[in-house]
């Protein structure tokens, strides 16, 4: 089954839930914008509190795509500030993750985001699919304005 098509969603009235589904990110709050209950695939907004951190090496068994709406988050030594983007495929290793002052991150998962401790098994991580960092404010944008 696929997620239902959604034309428009007003996220503000959606309730915040505690602890990301799949158990990979305790102590965060999140809102589901879209979710496939069978596969766990989803579009969510995650709110990381100030001081949030994960200090042990782990990886997800699914792809994660992020776009920072507010604040900043640090993943595997890379700082993602407001308007930064990344595509981190299944098996991407995260030795540490943190958010010093908190962050709100639009996140897409290709399945249920279960974190697995330690090194990813050989063959899971596909480096060529990775987009580690993109600052969308630094991109050249085309358009009709001179």
**Ordered DSSP codes for the chain:** --PPP-S----TTSPPEES-TTSSSTT-EEEEEEE-TTT--EEEEEEEPTTEEE-S-EEESS-EEEEEEEE-EEETTEEE-TTEEEEE-TT--BS-EEESS-EEEEEEESS---EEESSPPTTT--GGG-EEEEEGGGS---SS--
Instruction: Please write the tens of the pLDDT for every residue from 12-47.
Output: 888 999 999 998 898 999 999 999 989 999 999 999
Whole-prediction pTM: 0.90
Answer whether residue 128 shows pLDDT above 80: yes
Instruction: Please write the tens of the pLDDT for every residue from 98-120.
Output: 999 999 999 999 999 999 999 99
């Amino acid at each position: 089954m696929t997620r239902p098509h959604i034309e428009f969603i007003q996220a503000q009235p959606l309730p915040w839930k505690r602890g990301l589904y799949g158990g990979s990110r305790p102590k965060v709050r999140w809102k589901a914008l879209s979710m496939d209950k069978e596969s766990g695939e989803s579009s969510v907004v995650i709110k990381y509190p100030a001081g949030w951190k994960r200090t042990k090496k782990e990886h997800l068994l699914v792809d994660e795509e992020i776009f920072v709406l507010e604040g900043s988050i640090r993943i595997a030594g890379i700082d993602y500030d407001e308007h930064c983007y990344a595509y981190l495929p299944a098996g991407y290793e995260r030795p540490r993750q943190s958010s010093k002052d908190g962050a709100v991150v639009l996140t897409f998962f290709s399945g249920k985001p279960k974190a697995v401790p330690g090194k990813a098994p050989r063959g899971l991580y596909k480096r060529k699919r990775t987009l580690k960092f993109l600052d969308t404010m630094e991109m050249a944008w085309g358009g009709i304005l001179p």
